[in-house]
Structure 1
Amino acid sequence: MQIYRIPFKAMASTCEVVIADDDEQAMFAKAQEAIAEVRRIEVKYSRYRPDSIVSRINAQAGGDAIACDEETVALFDYAQALYQASDGLFDITAGILRQAWDFKNQRLPAEDEVQALCQRIGWHKVERADNKLRLPLAGMEIDFGGFGKEYAADRAASVLQVAGVTHGYVNLGGDIRVLGPKPDGQAWIMGIQDPRQPDKIIASIPLTTGALATSGDYEKYMEVAGQRYCHILNPQTGMPVRQWRSISVLAPVAALAGSCTTIGMLKEANALAYLQQTGLRFLAIDQQGRVHTQATA
């Protein structure tokens, strides 16, 4: 079997489908099916597309409820479970904080600007009945950015599994779902980046199945007056998290791995207790560069 790597761009990330196969033409067809599934999810749920279900719901904030299909309802159920499991820290209505935090132009927001947005945040305010969802306040928004990429990785992996792929993985911007080991049975080696040295790998993780995801303060951030402000924002305060440089989690599926890393970042001082409670393997790097791990699940 030959190992093939098919790179592509999606969800503002550099992505890759890796498949071991003995038929290049069949392999390429399988990879294109998986990539098409990623693009389907991006089109359906991107807040940047006016025709997406997310944009249609947001456009009706303060107005009518919107009917949702079965897949979207399931994602809302998952968002609700994350909200409850995180004591309200993982909140898909918190995306509006980006209106105050401009990481591209390195602009710190005024406190009243942040607090005004916080008034429109709160998953508990969202009204759901049957398959319909309504945002009760004008200006409220939902955003699947907290787990959309990981969900897409899992869906792409499912497409490949149905197509008979048993050796390979899907990598969507560092959110990785592994289908099975290399053809010789060896693990794929996944590197975890040093959050302060982009060219350095701080750990190498062997994976034959399951998923790996990382959240951190090093890919999207700004530094003002010597203080680093990261893009992961606490919905209750409107402020960036500060406790951890990065948190990586291994889980059976990418959606679970990714949501646990984000909740860990949001938990700040309580992150290790939370991560240990999940029973999942993790690697966390604090602001002093110390590494904390739970190596066995």
Structure 2
Amino acid sequence: MELALLQTFSDVTRRGSFAAVARDEGVDPSSVSRRVAALEEVLGLALFERTTRRLALTEAGRIYLDRVGPILEGLAEAADTARDAVTEPSGLLRVTTSVAFGERWLTPRLAGFRMLFPRVQIELILSDGQIDIAAEGIDVALRLGSNLQGTFVVSKLFDVRYRAVAAPGYLNRMGRPAHPADLKDHDAIHFALPRFGSAWRFRVTPGSRPIEVQPRPALAISNALAIRRAALEGLGVALLADWTVSDDLERGRLVDLFPEHEGSATDFYTAVWTVYASRHYMPARLRAFLDYVRDYRV
């Protein structure tokens, strides 16, 4: 029996359709379907129930997957172990994160990683939705949130601080607020997302009582990159994560209005986290990537 047939069977189960596996491989869905049919013919079993709306494992298919799944994982782990023992980190690494974090923080740092590990190929999947790491075959996700937990290995990469920023041109026109309370008289660029309220909160230290203020709503945008652009264009004050605007602050394109304050429109306790599946052996390419981003930080 060809190992490729078993791998295709496992991939179709994980991805949920022939078409998804075909897209991953860059082939026609009919070729994937033929491989599964060939395996079913060899086994003399129907592995999937096929309807026009869904593809589901039969009882025999589920039992078979329970047995061959660990074998395939073991073979992949054995290959990684052998490869890592005699060569530098290599192979494909699939990484996912949000669109804004990928564009502003991660992508600019990939050049340094590639210089250190030129044999590692990175596939970066940027999405603001919650991608199913297991189903999509993702090696590691960089997620933003507060105190993430789950069945995967979750580790904090760095804390995130939100800053109230504005362009010098806006401040020249409207004046610079001396205190967060002064923002009530300034135009604000808000996140147009349900979890973000219209009120902004500020505090000097983690234990201090927050100051709450409602800036004048001028513009609401659902994407952090577009909010940053609007702030750069002088459309108002924006509350953005430090990783979004750090280089803008360094180069004077934006001004941190209250450097002694930490801001928030949701939760002060936010961070960037690495999320990956627990496994007996971690491939060198994944270990190298995790070490690299942990050392780089903000």
Does TM, normalized by the shorter one, top 0.5?
no
Say which one has the larger Rg: 2
Shorter chain as denominator, the TM-score bin is: under 0.3
Structure number with the higher strand fraction is 1
- Select the structure with the greater relative contact order (CA < 8 A; seq sep ≥ 6): 2
Question: How high is the TM-score relative to the length of structure 2?
Answer: 0.22
